[in-house]
Amino acid sequence: MADITWIKIKTDMFDNEKIKLIERMPEGDTILIIWIKLLTYAGKANYNGFIMLSENIPMNIEEMAIIFNRPLEKVRYAIEILQRYKMLEVNEQEVVLISNWERHQNVDGMEKIRAQNAERNRLYRARQKQLALEELENQHDACVTSRDAIDIDKDIDKEYILSGNKTDAIPYKEIIDYLNLKTSKKYKHTSQKTQTLIKARFKEKFTLEDFKQVIDIKVSQWLTDDKMSTYLRPETLFGTKFESYLNETPKKKISNNQEEEKTPSYVNNISENDLLNMGE
């Protein structure tokens, strides 16, 4: 259904011979009101003059009587008169069509509107389909991530249980204490998210010294930069770019007798991997 809010009505409408004949009939006023209602509903449907409830559902005469708030017999009588004067056509299924619809509406303009509505509906359906696919993918990714995290926990815990040696336990506290010492922060080593990240890296065979080295490297690069220092946190340092950070070179300290090279600050303070994965 197109969003049409107007139709054409000529100012000399009541000079037409057919309209004059209808006016002289006993139910002339009722017939004319029904005629105007038919025109407006045809315009609203924007379906080449057909009287429609929706795009695929034509309005029958019983439905017209209800919608037009007129007795059924008067609506049928009006339809018969209008059909006799060839102002409308009715097929065997009582589907009503306004004759010479182009006289009452800009057909080309309405066709353009109908095409625009069809394209808008197509784009809307495509967007809804894309959103549904994205939601399914997100649900799948969430399930996989959760399952992987649980598997990592189980595998690591199993390894340490089998070892029977408390010294093999993951040093959450020592790692976070070291981070807090270097950054003057107050992160908790008991955070579930933090522990999950650290467990994942230990599962990849990284060591306590590797964690300390990553902390040292990123502190040397970011600590004095107000913008970048906010990323000195477990979810950034211990995420999937951990190995990349580990292989970076610490920022060298410049002595009082040396002039710092005029290199853009972002080159010293942030790597390409940092920019792409800052939220991890």
Residue 266, pLDDT score: 45
End-to-end CA distance of the chain: 47
Position with higher pLDDT, 4 vs 207: 207
Decide: 246 and 273 in contact? Cβ < 8 Å: no
Does residue 45 or residue 144 have the better pLDDT? 45
What's the CATH number for 13-105? Answer: 1.10.10.10
Report which of residues 153 and 55 the model is more confident about: 55
38-52, 235-249, 258-272: least confidently modelled range: 258-272
Q: Which of 129, 107, 113, 104 is nearest to 35 (CA)?
A: 104
pLDDT tens, residue by residue, 168-201:
589 999 999 999 999 999 999 999 999 999 999 9
Residue 58 forms beta bridges with which residues?
A: 52
pLDDT recorded at residue 134: 79
Residue 56 pLDDT exceeds 70? yes
d(CA 22, CA 80): 12
Q: What is the mean pLDDT of the chain?
A: 80
What is the pTM for the complete model shown?
0.37
Share of the chain above pLDDT 70, in %: 72
Residue 24 clears pLDDT 80, i.e. is over it: yes
Q: Which two tokens stand for residue 115?
A: 């095409």
pLDDT score recorded for residue 141: 60
Per-residue pLDDT for 140 more than 50? yes
Q: Which of residues 187 and 150 earns the better pLDDT score? A: 187
Q: From the CA atom positions of the chain, what is the Rg in Å?
A: 38
Q: Does pLDDT of 269 surpass 70? A: no
* The predicted structure's pLDDT at residue 175: 96
Residue 4 CB contacts under 8 Å (≥ 6 apart), including other chains: 43, 44, 46, 110, 113
Strands (E), the chain: 52-54, 57-58, 88-90, 96-98
- Does 4 or 96 have the greater pLDDT score? 96
- Taking only the tens place, the pLDDT of each residue in 86-112 is 999 988 888 899 888 877 665 555 556
Instruction: Report the SS3 class of residue 223.
Output: coil
